[in-house]
Amino acid sequence: MKKTMKFRFLTVMLMLLCVAALGQTAQAQEALTGEIIFPVTIREEGALPETPGVYTLVLEGEEGAPMPEGSRDQRFQWQVTGAQTTAFPTIACNSVGIYHYTITQEPGKNAYCTYDRVKYQVEVTITYPEQGDKLEVAVAIAPENAAMKSDTAMFVNSYEKPPVEIPQTGESGNLSLMLGLWVCSLLAVAFLWKQRKTV
């Protein structure tokens, strides 16, 4: 009887130790954090303006997806100046899961620029690490309705050369006309004066 009680006691203690160990492991996993980075590339083509263009990029996340600071209603706007490869502000994350985002570019104000309207679908997978103290983050970027994935969300903006402005006929045209008439009048007076002296 005593051996049986002792065996049960040891079994219960062992189970409690296992539960405590599992709890500590779960707490340690919950304390892990990670970083989500969305790389972006802006390219410019054609007759580039003297002043670099300013481009507005939009990141939208599904409900519950981690977002950059300053986001509103799971939407974050970010401006990039000129052609460059950069990244959205880093997003801190502390929970595992699969999250979905979209990255787009809003049309700008330059009438001679064709702004790239491609839409990128982004899938972020966050998992616990096998080793280390940071969550593992995998980012998959692909244009909408395209199977091929990309390392970056690329937007190619094309510029056209503005048409050459032709001066409008206004005061300058009237001035030229008046000057021409004045010269013709002087020539006519001089001719008549010469004819009179000859007679």
> Residue 2: pLDDT above 60?
no
pLDDT of residue 164: 81
pLDDT of residue 18: 42
What are the tokens at 75?
A: 């939407």
Q: How confident is the model at residue 25 (pLDDT cuts 50, 70, 90)?
A: very low
Query: Strands 97-106 and 113-114, how do they pair?
Result: unpaired
Interval 117-175: pLDDT, tens: 999 999 999 999 998 889 999 999 999 988 788 999 999 999 999 988 776 655 555 66
Amino acid code (one letter) for 190:
A
Please give the distance of CA 191 from its chain centroid, rounded to a whole number.
Answer: 74
pLDDT of residue 24: 42
**Average pLDDT value for the chain:** 83
Q: Does residue 180 or residue 132 have the better pLDDT?
A: 132
Q: How confident is the model at residue 28 (pLDDT cuts 50, 70, 90)?
A: very low
Interval 50-60: pLDDT, tens: 999 999 999 99
The three-state (H, E, C) secondary structure of the chain, written as one string = CHHHHHHHHHHHHHHHHHHHHHHHHHHHHHCCEEEECCEEEEEEEECCCCCCCEEEEEEEECCCCCCCCCCECCEEEEEEECCEEEECCCEEECCCEEEEEEEEEECCCCCCEECCCCCEEEEEEEECCCCCCECEEEEEEEECCCCCCECCEEEEEEECCCCCCCCCCCHHHHHHHHHHHHHHHHHHHHHHHHHHHHC
Interval 81-93: pLDDT, tens: 999 999 999 999 9
Interval 103-121: pLDDT, tens: 999 999 999 999 999 999 9
Q: How far apart are the first and last CA of the chain?
A: 161
pLDDT above 90 as % of the chain: 61
Reported pTM: 0.69
* CATH number belonging to the domain at 33-159, selected among 3.40.250.10, 2.60.40.3050, 3.40.190.10, 3.20.20.210: 2.60.40.3050
